Structure 1
Amino acid sequence: MPFVHIRVAGPRLAPEQVEKLQREATALMAGIMRKKEELTSVLVEQAEISGWAIGGAAVPVAAHLDVKVTEGTNTEEEMARFVRAANDLLKSVLGSQLPVATYVVVHEIPSTAWGYDGLTQEARKVAAAGG
């Protein structure tokens, strides 16, 4: 049950660009991180570029991608592959002016600390094991 939050700033994204970010971020979560597409949520949020600086200086375009997954469900290699692929996705949509300091962050959340449809991930795990 991953949650992907993509923040971008700079020129306003066209609806097709937002859809590409949503579609391809979902595909990366399924293909690299082994998450169910039907449970993957993606929020693309546009921020004002005037509020974003890197190294104390204004930038023409910027992005940040955060992902939340259940702790222990991915290997270090999967997370490293995801960081590379997500960065490539951001560059493909936002262009070559995207700063080097464009962060992709994978947050591992304990299974007892989050869930969906009223159940934690831990409760789902216990129920699946017959407990």
Structure 2
Amino acid sequence: MPIINVKISQPASAALTHAISETLLELTTRILRKKRELTAITLTCVPPSQWVVGGSTLAAQGKNSFYFDIKVVDGTNTKDEKAQYIAECFAAFGKLLAPLHEESYIYVQDVRAEAYGFGGLTQEYRYIKAKP
């Protein structure tokens, strides 16, 4: 884990999906110390004509945007790590989706270990079972 849900204001393409997923995998592994093999990413493409910022579509503004949220277990990352992650992800998406609208968002969501898991097991359960 974690799971990352991404929305971008670009048409779907295999090349862009690959670039976004590799970027997020690298940053999530390096900065947040999450396991690459357990990280899941979903990508949704929204037409710029259907993405509105400040009352005007991105198509009319000639810009692109993104939003993504990542769910991590509460207490596993520091404020500094999350701030670095947000800054580096924003910069990376700025290169991938230029010209990027400043109103693009990243949400690092801290979730309780007993309320979050995969494979039918909570992270709390995994933590307890790993103790000798």
> Normalising by structure 2, what TM-score?
0.92
1:55-99 Cα distance to aligned partner (Å, 9 max, x none): 11111322111111111100000000000111112111111x211
Which residue of the partner structure matches residue 33 of structure 2?
34
More helix by share: 2
Alpha-carbon RMSD across the aligned residues, in angstroms, is 1.1
- Where structure 2 has 5 or more consecutive residues not aligned to the other structure, the ranges are none
Tell me by how many angstroms 1:16 deviates: 1.2
**Correspondence 1:61-80 to 2 at 5 A:** 61-80=64-83
Quote the sequence identity (%). 28
**Correspondence 1:75-90 to 2 at 5 A:** 75-90=78-93
Residue 110, structure 1, aligned to residue 112, structure 2: yes
Which residue of the partner structure matches residue 120 of structure 1?
122
The alignment covers a number of residue pairs equal to 128
Which residue of the partner structure matches residue 3 of structure 1?
3
Tell me by how many angstroms 1:50 deviates: 2.4
Tell me by how many angstroms 1:14 deviates: 2.9
Distance 1:119 1:98 in 2: 39
- Where structure 1 has 5 or more consecutive residues not aligned to the other structure, the ranges are none
Distance 2:12 2:27 in 1: 20
Distance 2:93 2:12 in 1: 12
Tell me by how many angstroms 1:112 deviates: 0.7
SS state at 1:112 partner: helix
